[in-house]
Structure 1
Amino acid sequence: MKLKLGILDQSPVSMGGTAAIALTNSINLAMFAEEAGFHSVMYAEHHGVEAYGSSSPELLAAVALGRTRQIKIGTAGIMMKNYSAYKIAEWSKLLSSIYPGRFILGLGKAPGGLKDAVMALNNHKPVVLSSMETKLEEIIGFIKEDKGIYEGLIAQPKNLQYLPEILWLGSGTTSANEAARHGIGYSFAAFMNSENGPENTEAYLKGFDNTGYSDIPSLQVAVAVSVADHIEVARRNAYGMAYQFLQSHQRVSPDAVFPPEVVEQKISGTEDEEEFFTILNRMIIGTPQSISGELQQIAEKYNTDNLLLLCNMYREKDRMDTYKSIIKNNY
C-alpha cells in the first residue's frame, strides 16, 4: 500500500539552541517535504515551554504555505480553549482563500501549556472546559456560513471555493465519536496513547456521518519515529524525544531536546527509568531497510494509509535523515 505520509513538526528546540533556530529549521523542513513528496506538514501549538519554538501554528502555517506551492500545510493543532470560534473560523477561511485546497485546520482540546500559560492566554480568567464540542460546532457553522449561529454575522472571506479540511485531534473514543458525529477528519495521536487505538479509530470509521462537514471519512494516525543506519543509533537518537514525552506525562514543562548522554544521566537508576523505556518502546524505531515494513504494519493495524510522523532529535541532521530515509523507502 502506498502511504500518504505527513510530518508533525513541533519546532523542537535543542539543548544550547534557540527558538529562532528551531523555526528556521521548520521552514526548511517544509520546503524539503514538498520536494521529497510528503503529503502534508502540520504544526503544533505549545505555550510557555522551552522545548518547542512555535506558539502560533497558524502563523507558521501561513509562512510555510507562502514558501511552498503544492504540499498541504496545517495546524495540529489549534488549542481551542484559548481562542474564540469566530476568530478561528476567520483566519482559517482567509488561509483557505489565499491557498485553496492546501490548508488543513487541525483542532485540539488540550490546553497547549501549563496552568500559568493557559491563564495568561485567557486574560487570567478561569478556562471553560466543557464546551469544546459546542465550539467545534460554531467553527463549522461560521466556515459553512450557516445562518443560525449569530444572525447576520459573517466570517470573512465569504463564498470560498474550497473550505478548509478539518481534523479533530484526539487519543480516545470520545474524540473519535465527536469527529465522526460532525463528519470531519480524525487524527489519532498514537504516540501519546496506543492502548485501544484500533478500537478508537474503528469507532470513528463506523460512526462517520457522511451528511456532516465532509462526505468522506479521513483517518490519520500520528506516530513518533526514529531511523538510522543502525538500530541502536536510531534508538539513542530518540532519547531526547522520549524524555520530553516523559516530562509531559508528569505534567512538567518539557526541556529542550537533550542529547542521549544527558538523558541517560537523568534517568539511569531513577524511579522514572521504567516509564521512560516504556515510552521509548512505543516509538517506531528502525533502519532504512526496516522502516517501510514497520509503517505498513501501523497502517494496516489502524486501517488507514494516512500517517503523520513526529521526530524530535538533538541534532537536526538526525531528524532530517529520519524523514529522508522514510520517504525514500515509501514504495
Structure 2
Amino acid sequence: MKLSILDQVPRSSESTNEIALKETADLAVAAENLGYHRYWVAEHHDLDALLSPSPEILLAYIGAKTHSIRLGAGAILLPHYKPYKVAETFNMLANLFPGRMDLGLGRSPGGSAEASEALSTNFIEQINQMDAKVEELMHFIRRDFPESHRFSSLNAAPIPFEKPQVFMLGTSEKSAALASKHRLHYVYGHFMKEEDSETVLHAYRSQSNNGQAFACVSVLCADTQEEAERLHRSVRVWQVLQSMNQPMGWIPTKSEAEYVLNQMDADTRRKIEEGDTSTIVGDKQYVKKRLDHLAKTLEVDEFMVLTHAPELRDRLHSYRLLSEIYPQLVSL
C-alpha cells in the first residue's frame, strides 16, 4: 500500500490564478519531501475555481521542480483528443522525467456542455468510440500495431526508454472492464461515487490478471475534529453553490463561508452543514479509523488522496498529518 495525491488545482479567494498554479508545484515538492508516491493533476474545463484544463503543461512545470515522485494526469479525457497526440505528449514527458510518468485516462466531459462542444465534435459519439480510442492509444504506447495497420510505421516520437504507466479512471463496471480489456491499471473515483466502490473494484480484480487497483478518496484532516469540520464547511459552500449553478469562482475562506451561509435559506444551510459522506473529515484518529476500514473493505494497492480546503496551508497540513498517520504507506 502507498499514498499518493490527486490535485485539482483549486483557487482560494485570497489567491490569484498565477499564485494558485505556482502553489500546485509547491505542494508537489512538499509531497515528494513527505514521501508520497505519486502526484497527479486532474483535467477540468470552464470551472473558475479549478485551474487544470491542461494537466500536461502543469506536469512539465512540476517535473522540473521535483526529482523522484511519480507524476501523472488524473485523467486525460480521451474523448476530447486524438490518441496519437496524447501518446506523443506523454512520451515526451516520459523522456523529460524518466521512470516517473503516469497517464491516467477518463471518459467524462470534465466541464460544461459548451466546453465539450468547443473541445470535440459530438462528444457522445466520441464516448461511444472510447474502446477504439484506448486500443489505438495503447498500440502507440506499446508500439505493437499489426503490420497491416495504417499506423504500423508511425511512431509517437520521441520514444522513451521507459514508457508511461497507463491507468483507467472511472466509477463503473464498464470502466473497470475497459481497463481489464486493455491491460491497464484501474483507479476507482471513490470521492465521486462511494456506493459502488466494492462492486466495481471486485469486478476489475476478477477480470484483470496483474493490474493494480487504486481508490481515489477525499480526505480533510486537521488537528481537531472541530477545525476539520470548519474547513470542510467552506468547501461545502463552494460545492453546493456549484451544484446550484451559482459558482463562486473560488473556495471561500472560513469567514467568507460563514457570511455566505447567513444569506442562504434554511434548507441549503442544512445541506451544507450536514456535509457529504464521500469526504473523510476529522482529526488524525478519526481519519485513520475511516481509512483503515476503507482499505480493508476495498482491498486496494494504493490510496490516491484528494484534499480541498480554503488555503494551501490547510491542504498541506492535511497531507502532512496523513503522512504521520501512515508512515509505512509513504515511500521515503
C-alpha distance in structure 2 between counterparts of 1:254 and 1:138, whole Å: 40
On the 8 A contact 1:19/1:54 being kept in 2, the answer is: no
CA change 1:107–1:234 in 2 (3 A) is same
Deviations 1:146-182 (A, max 9, x none): 2235242221123x43221111111111111211221
Alignment of 1:187-226 (within 5 A): 187-208=187-208, 210=209, 216-226=210-220
Q: Could you tell me which residue of structure 1 aligns to residue 157 of structure 2? A: 156
Residue 295 of structure 1 and its aligned partner are, at CA, apart by 1.8
Structure 2 residue matching 1:226: 3-state secondary structure: strand
CA displacement, residues 132-157 of structure 1 (integer Å, 9 cap, x when unaligned): 12111111011111223524222112
Q: Which residue of 2 aligns with 1:257?
A: 251
Once the two structures are superposed, the pairs formed by residues 47-126 of structure 1 within 5 Å of their partners are 47-122=45-120, 125-126=121-122
Provide the TM-score with structure 2 as the length reference: 0.89
Correspondences of 1:236-251 after superposition (within 5 Å): 236-247=230-241
After TM superposition, the structure 1 stretch with the greater mean CA deviation from structure 2, 250-259 or 170-179, is 250-259
Rounded Cα–Cα distance in structure 1 between residues aligned with 2:79 and 2:239: 22
Q: CA deviation at 1:314?
A: 1.1
Instruction: Give the aligned partner of residue 166 of structure 2.
Output: 166
TM-aligned CA deviation for residue 260 of structure 1? 3.7
Instruction: Go from structure 1 to structure 2 and tell me whether the alpha carbon gap of 1:190 and 1:218 turns closer, same or farther (over 3 Å shift).
Output: same
Give yes or no for contact 2:141–2:156 (8 Å, CA) kept in 1. yes
For 2:50, the aligned partner's letter is Y
Q: In structure 1, how many angstroms separate the alpha carbons of the residues matched to 2:238 and 2:5?
A: 18
C-alpha separation in 1, matches of 2:55 and 2:239: 20
Q: What is the deviation of 1:92?
A: 1.0
Aligned-partner residue type, residue 288 of structure 1: K
Contact preservation (8 Å) 1:240, 1:312: no
Query: Structure 1 218/279 Cα, relative in aligned 2: closer, same or farther at 3 Å?
Result: farther
Residue 313 of structure 1 corresponds to 309
Q: Per the alignment, in what secondary structure is the counterpart of residue 281 of structure 1?
A: coil
Q: Is the 8 A contact 2:29 2:66 kept in 1?
A: yes
Show the counterpart of 1:147: 145
Alignment coverage as a number of residue pairs: 320
For residue 292 of structure 1, give the secondary structure of its aligned residue in structure 2.
helix
Give the residue type in structure 2 aligned to 1:242.
R
CA distance in 2, matches of 1:165, 1:254: 36
Distance in structure 2 (CA, Å) of the matches to 1:103 and 1:270: 47
Instruction: Output the aligned Cα RMSD.
Output: 2.1
Q: What is the CA-CA distance between 1:275 and the residue it aligns to?
A: 4.9
Matches of 1:244 and 1:217, distance apart in 2? 36
Percent identity of the aligned residues?
Answer: 29
Task: After superposing the two structures, state which structure 1 stretch, 163-172 or 149-158, moved more.
Answer: 149-158
Q: When the two structures are superposed, what TM-score results if normalisation uses the length of structure 1?
A: 0.89
Match of 1:290, SS?
helix
